[in-house]
Amino acid sequence: MRSAPIGVFDSGMGGLSVLRALRAAMPHERLIYYGDNENAPYGTRTPQEICALSLQAAQLLMQKGVKALVVACNTATSAAEATLRARLNVPVVGIEPDFIAAREAAGEKKIVVFATRATLSLPRYREARLRLCPEAISISAPELVLMVERGVVAGPEPEAFFREKLAPWRDEIGAIVLGCTHFAFLRAPLHAVAPGVPLIDSIDRLTRSLRNVLTDINALAEDGAGGVELYSSARDPAVLARMHELLGENFP
């Protein structure tokens, strides 16, 4: 059980930010990543479509004998995590916006959430926002997902987007929540537009949750070199090349 791999999937490139964190935190684990780039973005699809695509991705990873499944996509977590947990016989760990950390970081200032349209419209997000942070400003940002899918993670294009969307609040912003794993790759342009504003994602929290789950079932790998395998539903070799670029030259 300990030597079995961990499956990680996302609608495309975004979950690579999670993969990178998992590799750093659990170097002995074998990680298999599946990006459904052919069907990206999930955030513009219906909940039924997202659930069906998530189940398809999960089954592909289950066929590789994974001991746990990481849903490295906020949209897929919101639409399909409950279904995946009901249908799979391995632990499922998802990711969702961290309102509690954002509220602590923002103090009396405003909280802005960037996420996909689907994430913002699904009950899971709406209920969590109402319960934990009803004053949060929600901004749908499908354009950012497409930028990352194209490999555009810096420069004038993302900076112009952030500048326009954040302009109404300017110096009133106390924290920005990255409600999509794609957006973790856009920290540099966001810092350029909103210097000093804390950027909140849930990747570290997901990593801790996965470690705890594996420890509880005595499945955490404690030795060995580990490793990473990358797969994509897209047949274009340029997609895998962009995956490696986003992971960085020093990624093991």
- 32: helix, coil or strand? strand
Annotated catalytic residue within 73, 80, 106, 239: 73
- What tens-digit pLDDT sequence spans the chain (252 residues)? 799 999 999 999 999 999 999 999 999 999 999 999 999 999 999 999 999 999 999 999 999 999 999 999 999 999 999 999 999 999 999 999 999 999 999 999 999 999 999 999 999 999 999 999 999 999 999 999 999 999 999 999 999 999 999 999 989 999 999 999 999 999 999 999 999 999 999 999 999 999 999 999 999 999 999 999 999 999 899 999 999 999 997 887
CB-based burial label for 170 (10 Å; 0-12, 13-18, 19+): exposed
Output the pLDDT for position 230: 97
User: How far is 106 from 175, CA to CA, in rounded Å?
Assistant: 5
133 labelled catalytic: no
User: How many other CB atoms sit within 10 Å of the CB of residue 154?
Assistant: 14
73 labelled catalytic: yes
Polymer length in residues for the chain: 252
Output the pLDDT for position 249: 79
User: How many other CB atoms sit within 10 Å of the CB of residue 244?
Assistant: 12
Annotated catalytic residue within 93, 105, 180, 239: 180
Contact by Cβ (8 Å): 141, 115: yes
- Edge-to-edge order in the sheet of strand 199-200: 137-140, 110-115, 173-178, 199-200
User: How many other CB atoms sit within 10 Å of the CB of residue 213?
Assistant: 17
